[in-house]
Structure 1
């Protein structure tokens, strides 16, 4: 309970705590499918068909993230302040729920469209910031080659895990952005 007041910084990951029969696909399944296709495909067949400059790719992704962070924060501000009665209605169908602890009690909230979109764009903004930081660190940090072979193997494995994590975050960002755009383009204007 004492740690809860310090966990506010993790509120931006509330999207991963949403529950609904459908939302799990957008949280984990679709991003993982994209990840397996991209990362796995490159690991198995990439050397045969693709060559690219990793630093330039990271630089281009970072340029995009710089733009997307602003877009997500603007979308979050717009959704939070836009006056539209449809946004304040509970989502129809199998609406997502979010369970939080308030004053020691669990509260299960069925989300309105406004709350759902705020959670979604807050999550996207956070992923874009994380990707940007990862890219900056990748471009500006270099590791010296250790002499011990086991350390080289450990660093190689760590590097692959980091790249996998990076690709999964990009996959998640892509899928969740498309979901958010669907709601902005289509669902927000229907009752």
Structure 2
């Protein structure tokens, strides 16, 4: 199972995540308590191995700004969390991951309108577009409507429930942010436990 640690804000957390076995790291450029500047993201990414995927998280940002940040920082994937259209998602040379907030089976219909590299399925949105620490009903994802789609499962995951989530939803990757934090900061022990549990 592939694992993404999102909301990376410093070099030590990034290096430890890689050491523990993370496959991808997420850098938030949208309004969030985990927002980082392009300059900081670039400094952290410069320290990382080539084969680690570096996702940039954006919400309703312009194509030009996204491309500028992606090029400057050395991102490998663009993750879109806003109301971006199917056509907008096709305008990038980098792989695009489109995020959707899932509250019911009907929300999956929207996913089928997009042709993207992958789809991050998260809990219904709170104050921000993600990182709420709340999970949704993973059995929704057993619907055949998503067959052939590369799914990244997010929302309320932690080391205790990630195994059940993987068995229930059968995603391509799991994504965690608040589930490996203590007092709003990444907790290295929780991060290590989560990656180990997911990989098991």
Alignment TM class, shorter chain as reference:
under 0.3
TM-score by length of 1: 0.22
| RCO higher in structure (CA 8 A, sep ≥6) | 1
TM-score by length of 2: 0.21
Greater radius of gyration (CA) = 1
Q: Which has the higher helix share?
A: 1
